[in-house]
Amino acid sequence: MKLSARDAPGYFARPDSDKMGLLIYGGDAMRIALKRQEVIAGLVGPKGEEEMRLTRMAAADVRRDPALLSDAIKAVGFFPGPRVAFVEDATETHAEAILPSLQDWRRGDAQVVVAAGALKPTSKLRKYFEAHKDAYAAAIYDNPPSRTEIEAELQRAGLTALSSEALRDLSALAMTIDPGDFRQTLEKLVIYKHGDPAPATPQDVAAVAPATTEAEIDDMLDIVAEAKSGEIGPLMQRLRAQGVQPVTLCIGLMRHFRTLYAVAAAPGGPGEGINRVRPPVFGPRRDKVLRQAQGWGVERLQQALTVITETDLSLRSAAQTAPAMALVERAMIRLAMMARR
């Protein structure tokens, strides 16, 4: 049977141990790994591997020796409880080695979990699992987890007190970082809030979110946008010492001021714009960006983007003789002075 995108998260959280098996497939290897971990944990529990109720094998090994899978399915365990035969890294080329073992499956045998890459609708693996009355096939797409999935994941981990603002920021964060990093962020949040009955807040999310490697560049962008021209020089010296390139700073300026413009120019005003801007802005930085956009206004932000574009063209010009970093610093000071008007 085919698991829909709506039904799959519920099944992953509470898999049916009486089924023959589950095929999880998709193009994002990290998301596939996270989902199959969840399913296997739901089937065999935390001690499944310790109690030898979980057998792992690579699909390439099954192709070389199909008996590996057959033996794992039929094996009798020393400990009571559901058993799982897990086949990883499967592709369509492994179908002929995997499918015969599945056809011999009987109730009471180990459940088979197959993790595969992207599979076409014509795939033999997909067709078999989708047609089998005691099996499921679930496609894992590149979409980040929904608010409902995030909330359910935190509740399973024991964090039930969560403000709507914190959930909003977690949803925004999920769109910007690797799924593995996001899962670690959720785990850190649960630990961070352990023993604290107060609902998690945006400040809590910001405290456990991955630190950006461009933190000082972000600081510089804020200094410019908030008209703190006196702080530009010292921070420029640190960035130069760290090997930050002028073009990197110029790209950062362009990205930041385009975000401010998108927020300020939203038809419903900056309050609507901050909710719609992509990539999303979360945590305390959300309020900072909103405040900057409101302070600048659409007209001055258009002028700022013109200054940044001219600086970018100068950096790329073969006729340019002035030091590149000096050009960028001059543009930053000019922008900071514009912000004071």
Mean pLDDT on 292-303: 94
**Cα distance between residue 53 and residue 71, in whole Å:** 13
HEC readout, the chain:
CEECCCCHHHHHHCCCCCCCEEEEECCCHHHHHHHHHHHHHHHHCCCCCCCCCEEEEEHHHHHHCCHHHHHHHHCCCCCCCCCEEEEEEECHHHHHHHHHHHHCCCCCCCEEEEEECCCCCCCHHHHHHHHCCCEEEEECCCCCCCHHHHHHHHHHCCCCCECHHHHHHHHHHHCCCCHHHHHHHHHHHHHHCCCCCCCECHHHHHHHCCCCCCHHHHHHHHHHHCCCHHHHHHHHHHHHHCCCCHHHHHHHHHHHHHHHHHHHCCCCCHHHHHHHCCCCCCCHHHHHHHHHHHHHHHHHHHHHHHHHHHHHHHHHCCCCCCCHHHHHHHHHHHHHHHHCC
- pLDDT, position 49: 85
Between vectors from CA 221 to CA 217 and to CA 225, what angle results, nearest 5°?
A: 170
Token representation of residue 329: 């610093």
- pLDDT, position 212: 53
Decide if 2-139 and 215-339 have a common fold. Answer: no
Digit-coded pLDDT (tens) for 72-86: 999 987 888 899 999
128 close to 101: Cβ distance less than 8 angstroms: no
Least confident of 118-122, 183-187, 242-246: 242-246
- pLDDT, position 332: 94
Give the residue, 214 or 187, on which the prediction is more confident: 187
Between vectors from CA 47 to CA 62 and to CA 111, what angle results, nearest 5°?
A: 40
- pLDDT, position 223: 92
**Cα distance between residue 295 and residue 69, in whole Å:** 64
Mean pLDDT on 35-63: 91
**Cα distance between residue 278 and residue 50, in whole Å:** 45
- pLDDT, position 299: 93
Least confident of 129-133, 147-151, 231-235, 253-257: 147-151
Mean pLDDT on 179-204: 88
For the cut 80, the answer to whether the pLDDT of residue 335 exceeds it is yes
Among candidates 300, 11, 297, 292, which has minimal Cα distance to 140? 11
**Gyration radius from the chain CA atoms:** 26
Amino acid (one-letter) located at 335: L
**Cα distance between residue 32 and residue 29, in whole Å:** 5
Mean pLDDT on 286-293: 91
Specify the CATH class of 215-339 in words.
mainly alpha
- pLDDT, position 290: 93
Digit-coded pLDDT (tens) for 108-159: 999 999 999 999 999 999 999 999 999 999 998 877 788 888 888 898 888 9
**Cα distance between residue 128 and residue 23, in whole Å:** 10
- pLDDT, position 224: 94
From residue 106, give the alpha-carbon distance in Å to each of 14, 40, 57, 72: 21, 19, 20, 13
Is 2-139 assigned to CATH 3.40.50.1370? no
- pLDDT, position 213: 41
201 close to 166: Cβ distance less than 8 angstroms: yes
Give the residue, 237 or 177, on which the prediction is more confident: 237
* Domain segments of the chain as ranges: 2-139, 147-208, 215-339
Between vectors from CA 183 to CA 61 and to CA 194, what angle results, nearest 5°?
A: 130
Q: How confident is the model at residue 183 (pLDDT cuts 50, 70, 90)?
A: confident
Q: How confident is the model at residue 211 (pLDDT cuts 50, 70, 90)?
A: low
